[in-house]
Structures are given as structure tokens and as C-alpha cells.
Chain A
């Protein structure tokens, strides 16, 4: 009897060690990856790396067109994904009646979240690039990534709205507010931090996505910038950049990684380091926001 107990206790101790080891494998892999890129890429990480175009000479190549391209694509993505995602989330939580249309939309969103990102690329290639004639442009890429992160924004919005107590809505209605006024002045402001968390996580995912953008045919070597959105002459704003060819950070990194010359792979390490820092910072910000939110909200 006692032996049996000891044996079971021993198994338990062994498992605790195994569990910790398994966790450590994940942590160590990431630490190695991070250190690898930092050590290899550090030599290239100076000011000129951010202000130079890609080049045939690895020592002079930089990520100027890549980070500007990424920024512009992200602007388009956020412009479409945030309003659409929030509106859809508000509809499903506050307006939707329990019927088959609502069920259909909900099942759909769950399924879309599981579709491989490259399939979104094929959708964009067939629909945006050829049928809508947008070509391999910033607009096409931004729209593609917006569709890709839409489920993330919708789910985050719904979760944030669901945590608002029913009493808030009832209080608003009791004062004579309409449904939209309740949403506009109560639901949206109170859920904004939760929504922001979801938007940041979605954007962090979009900025690292490579496959769908390669699929729409983004060029890998771009040594020019899209036309500036701000012009010196009236009307001061130009939207020509939307249809400009472009490259983004992950594609630039892919291009350098797949070259045989070691010097380009050093560039890939440097670009990867910048990319990881960017996504870590965004995800970290989202996690911190959520943590703050959980602590501060007391309904």
C-alpha cells in the first residue's frame, strides 16, 4: 500500500519535471531564434539599413521600401478591417435575432478563422487582382489582409461587448435612449479597450503575413517608393499610392533568406530581427492592455 503511494508520488514528481522541460523547450527555441537573428543581424542594423533601398550589393541594401510598404498596407488594412469588424461584432451582439441567418454568420466566422492564409491569397489573386483589376497594388494587399484579420477583430469586439453588464443597457433605455444611442454612447466606449486589444493582435498578425501577399504577386525587388500621399500642390492629398507596386517586410526577408550568398542572409537576419521586435511589441502591448483592463474594470 505504502509502496504504491510512493510509486505514484514518484510518477508525479517525474511529470512535474517533464512538464517544466516541455515548457522550457518552447522558451529555449524562441530564445535561440531571437539570439541567432540578433547576433547575425546586429552588424547591419544601423540608420542606413532603414533608409536604403534593396540592392544587388548586400552591404548597401536596406529595408526602406519594405517598411514603408508595410506601413502603407497596414493603413489600408486597418481602414477596412476595423470599421467592418467592429460593426459586425456590434451587430452580432446587440442587434442579431436568434435565427438561421445569425447562425450562418457565426459558423462562417469560426470557419474563416481556420482557413489557411494562402487561400486568402488565392481569393485576392482571382478577385481583387484580376476581376476588380486592382493589379499587384497596395490596395489589393491591404484588402486581402483586412479580410484575413476580420475574424480576429469580430471575435475581440464580441468578447468585449459581452462583458458589459445588461444593467448598463437597461439604464440607458430607461432614460429614453434608442438602441443606436445606447451602442454609440455606452457599449462602444466601454468596450473600446477590449476592441483595441483585438485590433492590435490582428494587425500584428497581418504585418507578419507573407504567403497571401506573395500569392497576389507582390514584387520582391522594389527600389522605389510609392507616390507620396501628401502633395505640395493642391489638392495636397493623393491616392495614387494605393495602386502602386510595393514590397513588405516579410517579403523582403523571404527574398534575402532564399538567396545563396551568406551576405544576404545577414540582411535577412537583420530584417527578421526588426520584424520580430515589431510583432513582439504589438502583441506585448495588447497583452498588457488586456491585463490592465482585467484589473481596472469593476462593474
Chain B
């Protein structure tokens, strides 16, 4: 009897995670439904202005999406190549000692609070970039994106490396036996064999970039701007939510509901990537 009660309690604890998801979906959808009763969904998707707090209110999510997309592209163009090279290097080339030091170090890097990276982007990287390109505004997507890229490197490198290490030694030995060098083996045997894991690492990197908040709120400015030019300041979906939360909008106003509509958009984007990652893993999973 007591055993059954304990099992029930433990089961309830496990269910908390399900309730969290249900809670997230419930809150986002509930507030968004009210929002879309006032703002037609067509306007939300096609309007080219985002001015929800002005008298002449426009709600074009495209504007915020452009900021999110641009900064993510900058970040990923840093994180994916560097993360992949680091993973291949650590898994196939680095001496044992170096790997034993580098892996925990990467983990430490991943643990640095993002607000600290934001400070670094605004007060160190931007002034540095301004020396190279004097016309760069104090808030810009480039510095934020670059720092965000460095922040994501540990995630991409660490998970890709795990995937490559899991490739059986026999595959490498077969490749060496045919006369391939270590680099050829790494690129043509290990990397394709580990592709499902590497793809999962990339997807995680993308989700991180899209959902990153503080670096962008601090260093990219919070000005909505429909642009794909990383040299300009622009607000992202996440930065907009922070901006509204910092002000004191009355509970239940349209401005208050916009952040839930923005959050729902964000959630849907990351969901698409999560599903894509799941399918990629299934499609490319190689069984040994």
C-alpha cells in the first residue's frame, strides 16, 4: 500500500514536466487568441511596420523576425564552422591530454551568463568593430551576432564531438587501411557516420540563437527595424519581449498581449526546428 502511494507521488513529480508544457501552450494561446481578435492575423503576418505602442499601431511580426533572422545568421556563420572544426579536431586529431582539458573548458564557456556576453558585445566588441568600420552605430546586430556565435560554439562543438567519438573505431581503421589520411577519414568517414548527431548539434545551436535574449537586448538596440543588414540596429522577438516587460504596461492591454503573440511565434519557430532535428536524427541514424 505504502509502495503504491510512493509510486503515485513519484509519478506526479514526473508529470510536472508535462504540465509545464501544457501551461506554456495554454498561456501563449490564451493571450494570443485575445490578441488576434483585435489584430487580424493577415496584418500580423504581412504588415511591414511594428509599432504596437504608438497611436497609429501596426503589428507586423516580419519586422521583429528580420532582426531575429539576421542576428541568428551572423551567429550561426560563426558557431557552425568553428564548432564543427573544433569537434573534428578534438575527436580525431587532438592529443588525449588536450581533449581532457578542452572539453571541461568548453563546458565552462557554455555556463557563462548571457548578460555577461551582452556586456562584452556592447562595450568591447562594438568599439573594436567601430575602429575597423567607423560608421557602425553603437547598437548593431553584427556585434551581438558575433558574440552570440562564440557563445553557441561550446554547444555545437561538444555535442558534435560526442557524436563523432561514438563512431566505431573499425570504420576508421577500415579507412586507414585503404590508405586514407586522418583528415580524409575525418571528413569522408567519421563526419558522415556521425551526421545525425552533428545535425542535432546544429539544430540546438539554431534554437539557442533564435531564443537568445539578453545579448540582443543589450547590444542590438530595441528599435524595431525591418532590415537584413547586420550593420544596423534592430529589435528581435526576444528583445521586444524584454522591452515591454521593462515598461509597465497594464495587464490585459493590447501591448501586454503582443508579447504573448510574439512568444507564440518564437515557440513555433523553435518547435519547427526541434521537429526537424528529430526527423533528421531518425532519417540519418546509422546503426552499428
Most buried by A among B11, B90, B150: B11
B13-50 toward A: CB 8 Å interface, digit per residue (1/0)? 11111101101100110110000000000000000000
> Of all chain B residues, which has the CB nearest A40?
B123
Would you call B20 and A23 a contact (CB within 8 A)?
A: no
Tell me whether A180 and B2 are in contact in the complex, defined as CB-CB below 8 angstroms, given that A116-B207, A118-B241, A217-B245 are known contacts: yes
Would you call A257 and B10 a contact (CB within 8 A)?
A: no
The complex places the Cα of A169 from the Cα of B211 at a distance, in Å, of 42
Q: Does B113 contact A (CB under 8 A)?
A: yes
Work out how many contacts link A and B, with CB atoms closer than 8 A. 249
Would you call A254 and B118 a contact (CB within 8 A)?
A: yes
Q: Does A54 contact B (CB under 8 A)?
A: no
Q: Please, which residues of chain A bring their CB within 8 A of the CB of B2?
A: 180
The complex places the Cα of A125 from the Cα of B249 at a distance, in Å, of 13
The complex places the Cα of A83 from the Cα of B10 at a distance, in Å, of 10
Besides A105-B15, A115-B270, 16 other A-B contacts (C-beta < 8 A): A12-B183, A15-B93, A15-B183, A26-B86, A26-B153, A30-B109, A91-B7, A114-B274, A118-B238, A121-B245, A123-B23, A123-B28, A126-B260, A214-B245, A215-B245, A257-B122
Q: Does A87 contact B (CB under 8 A)?
A: yes
Would you call B104 and A123 a contact (CB within 8 A)?
A: no
Would you call B10 and A88 a contact (CB within 8 A)?
A: yes
Tell me whether A114 and B116 are in contact in the complex, defined as CB-CB below 8 angstroms, given that A23-B102, A280-B108 are known contacts: no
Q: Which residues between 1 and 59 of chain A lie within 8 Å of chain B, taking CB atoms?
A: 8-9, 11-12, 15-16, 18-20, 22-23, 25-27, 29-30, 32-33, 36-37
Would you call B14 and A105 a contact (CB within 8 A)?
A: yes
A101-136 toward B: CB 8 Å interface, digit per residue (1/0)? 000110011011011111111110111001000000
The complex places the Cα of A90 from the Cα of B31 at a distance, in Å, of 36
A254-284 toward B: CB 8 Å interface, digit per residue (1/0)? 1001100000010011001001100110111
Would you call B17 and A95 a contact (CB within 8 A)?
A: no
Would you call A147 and B20 a contact (CB within 8 A)?
A: yes
Would you call B263 and A208 a contact (CB within 8 A)?
A: no
Q: Does A71 contact B (CB under 8 A)?
A: no
Q: Please, which residues of chain A bring their CB within 8 A of the CB of B238?
A: 116, 118, 211
> Of all chain A residues, which has the CB nearest B211?
A116
Tell me whether A26 and B211 are in contact in the complex, defined as CB-CB below 8 angstroms, given that A130-B251, A272-B115 are known contacts: no
Cβ 8 A contact of A115, one of B108, B113, B260, B267: B267
Q: Please, which residues of chain A bring their CB within 8 A of the CB of B6?
A: 180
Cβ 8 A contact of A178, one of B3, B124, B182, B274: B3
The complex places the Cα of A200 from the Cα of B20 at a distance, in Å, of 22
B171-196 toward A: CB 8 Å interface, digit per residue (1/0)? 00000000001111000000000000
Chain A residues in the interface with B (C-beta under 8 A)? 8-9, 11-12, 15-16, 18-20, 22-23, 25-27, 29-30, 32-33, 36-37, 83-85, 87-88, 90-92, 95-96, 104-105, 108-109, 111-112, 114-123, 125-127, 130, 147, 150-151, 154, 178-180, 201, 204-205, 207-211, 214-217, 220, 250, 253-254, 257-258, 265, 268-269, 272, 275-276, 279-280, 282-284, 287, 291
Tell me whether A257 and B123 are in contact in the complex, defined as CB-CB below 8 angstroms, given that A15-B93, A22-B82, A210-B214 are known contacts: yes
The complex places the Cα of A10 from the Cα of B27 at a distance, in Å, of 58
> Of all chain B residues, which has the CB nearest A130?
B251
Tell me whether A91 and B11 are in contact in the complex, defined as CB-CB below 8 angstroms, given that A109-B17, A118-B266 are known contacts: yes
Q: Does B246 contact A (CB under 8 A)?
A: yes
Cβ 8 A contact of A208, one of B93, B114, B123: B114
Q: Which residues between 103 and 149 of chain B lie within 8 Å of chain A, taking CB atoms?
A: 104-109, 111-120, 122-124
A-B contact pairs, 9 of them (CB 8 A): A8-B183, A19-B85, A121-B241, A123-B23, A178-B3, A215-B242, A250-B115, A258-B218, A272-B119
The complex places the Cα of A240 from the Cα of B159 at a distance, in Å, of 44
The complex places the Cα of A291 from the Cα of B100 at a distance, in Å, of 10
Most buried by A among B20, B260, B267: B20
Q: Does B233 contact A (CB under 8 A)?
A: no
Q: Please, which residues of chain A bring their CB within 8 A of the CB of B75?
A: none
Q: Please, which residues of chain B bring their CB within 8 A of the CB of A127?
A: 23, 27
> Of all chain B residues, which has the CB nearest A30?
B109
Q: Please, which residues of chain A bring their CB within 8 A of the CB of B10?
A: 87-88, 90-91, 95
Would you call B213 and A114 a contact (CB within 8 A)?
A: no
Tell me whether A20 and B89 are in contact in the complex, defined as CB-CB below 8 angstroms, given that A105-B15, A214-B242 are known contacts: yes
Rounded to whole Å, the gap between the CB of A131 and the closest CB of chain B is 8
Tell me whether A210 and B113 are in contact in the complex, defined as CB-CB below 8 angstroms, given that A25-B82, A108-B21, A215-B241 are known contacts: yes
Would you call B13 and A211 a contact (CB within 8 A)?
A: no
Would you call B112 and A30 a contact (CB within 8 A)?
A: yes
Q: Please, which residues of chain A bring their CB within 8 A of the CB of B198?
A: none
The complex places the Cα of A33 from the Cα of B107 at a distance, in Å, of 16
Would you call A210 and B24 a contact (CB within 8 A)?
A: no
Tell me whether A87 and B14 are in contact in the complex, defined as CB-CB below 8 angstroms, given that A19-B85, A36-B124, A118-B266 are known contacts: yes
> Of all chain B residues, which has the CB nearest A129?
B251
> Of all chain A residues, which has the CB nearest B31?
A126
Tell me whether A214 and B246 are in contact in the complex, defined as CB-CB below 8 angstroms, given that A11-B181, A116-B270 are known contacts: yes
Cβ 8 A contact of A118, one of B104, B113, B123, B242: B242
Q: Does B224 contact A (CB under 8 A)?
A: no
Would you call B109 and A36 a contact (CB within 8 A)?
A: no
Cβ 8 A contact of B89, one of A22, A151, A287: A22
Cβ 8 A contact of B263, one of A15, A112, A122, A268: A122
